[in-house]
Amino acid sequence: MSAAPLAYAAMTPRYRHYALFVFWLASMVSFLDRHIMSVLLEPIKADLHFSDTELGLLGGLAFSVFYVVFGFPIARLVERFNRRNILALSVLAWSAMASLCGMATGFMSFFFARSGVAIGEAGGAPAIQSLVADHFPPERRGAAFAVLGTAITASIMTAYLFGGWLSQAVGWRWTFVIMGAPGLVLALLIRATLAEPERGASENRAASAATPPFLETIRTLWSRAAYRNAALGGAAAGMAAWGSGVWLTSFLVRVHGLTVAEAGAALGLIFGVVGTIGTLAGGVAVDRLVARSGDTGWYMRLSAIGMIAAAPLAATAYLAPSLTMMLVMLTVTIFAAHLYSGPVTAMVQGLAKLRMRGTATAFYSLINGLVAMGLGPLLVGGASDLFGTEYGSEALRYALVTVVCSAYAVAALFFWFSSRTLRADLLEAAQ
């Protein structure tokens, strides 16, 4: 393909949808390489004799610290150079490092491999989200980003369904190798079939020739209350998602007596089917609500409603005495908890100027990564160790209730605050 940017007017609907599908694949592979860790915690623990706190570190901080540290410099490259090429290189890097996780022999080698995955994935979200914004106009972005968000639930389903089966069939080491391999092919597909689009043409705006200084970009984003509260709300929602997601397989194994494969199958179907429906429902519903009412505040208001509903539903699921009741309540929880994905991601892009969008994603990922991926799994693991002397195998149940349900409630509060200033902040960003 030509090195010249692809004009928005030259994009056919077929190409636009194909590009979204490729971005979806890249996101799916990215999250697959993250979520497979949660499925393999128990066999890794048995083989390498890690504590729950060490597993929490590998599932959280080993990834999140490097993800956010490298996210900013790569995001600045996204704002200046060819985003298609940056995405292809990122996919190649994180997939190779994911396979190397299967060669770990101890905590430090595992930590190194997980950190490498994080560094590669630091370039994924800024490039993908900026590219999607230049393929779809604002009035269609809620749905477009919701479709992109289903990559997360698809990755969870794949990790749980096939990860558990692969772990029992070939062991946790070869599972990492196999799960990392598709990304190597996908990197070539991105480079060969996609083009770099014009910046801002999807909303009839022209990008400035110069990229704003880094500190000016951060100050501008943080000064917008809607962005600030959306980022904090997303971090709290992410802490609930990662805190539960990393530990749910272990919860079903320890508390309800399932095997890793059985737990993976149950969770894979719930997250894959219901999570996808919830994500799509949130994106489609919010675009329609805004179109009918003219009130852009619904992007964050609907997100708040989903979070406040998820808190008591999750508590009921974790405290349920029977497996059947637990799975039913978890299903409803997952639907409510996924409504925010498309609306919030669309607003992160909408609240940033054209050459600030990579940094807007990286800054959002910084807050989300440190709190969600960093603290979520670690706090649940630490609480499980703390409660262990009193509750034994039931400790993980109370750890999940304590951390996850509190995080949902905090997320609802921040999303509601964001909705109150969203309209004014979007108008300012568009100037």
How many domains does the chain fold into? 1
The per-residue pLDDT for 203 is 66
Check if the beta carbon of residue 347 is closer than 8 Å to that of residue 290: no
Nearest to 73 by CA among 370, 352, 361, 359: 359
User: Would you say residue 198 lies in a domain?
Assistant: no
The per-residue pLDDT for 3 is 61
**What count of other Cβ atoms lies within 10 Å of the Cβ of residue 363?**
25
Tell me what percent of the chain is helix, strand and coil, each rounded to the nearest 5. 85, 0, 15
How confident is the chain (431 residues) per 10-residue block, as mean pLDDT? 66 89 92 79 82 75 77 82 90 89 86 87 85 82 82 82 81 87 91 86 62 81 90 92 84 86 82 88 88 89 95 95 94 94 84 76 77 80 83 85 93 95 85 70
Backbone angles phi, psi at 6, to 5 degrees: -80, 125
The per-residue pLDDT for 2 is 45
Question: Which range of residues forms the domain containing residue 121?
Answer: 11-193+217-430
User: Would you say residue 199 lies in a domain?
Assistant: no
Query: Residue 183: CA atoms inside 13 Å, Cβ hemisphere, count?
Result: 32
User: Would you say residue 222 lies in a domain?
Assistant: yes
User: Would you say residue 205 lies in a domain?
Assistant: no
The per-residue pLDDT for 417 is 95
User: Would you say residue 349 lies in a domain?
Assistant: yes
Name 202's Cβ contacts closer than 8 Å, sequence gap at least 6: 8, 133, 134, 135, 136, 137, 138
Backbone angles phi, psi at 206, to 5 degrees: -105, 130
Backbone angles phi, psi at 257, to 5 degrees: 75, 20
With 0-12 / 13-18 / 19 or more C-beta atoms within 10 angstroms meaning exposed / middle / buried, residue 210 is exposed
CATH of the domain at 165: 1.20.1250.20
User: Would you say residue 3 lies in a domain?
Assistant: no
User: Would you say residue 67 lies in a domain?
Assistant: yes
User: Would you say residue 208 lies in a domain?
Assistant: no
- CA 225 → CA 142, 168, 221, 228, 297, distances in Å? 20, 48, 8, 5, 13
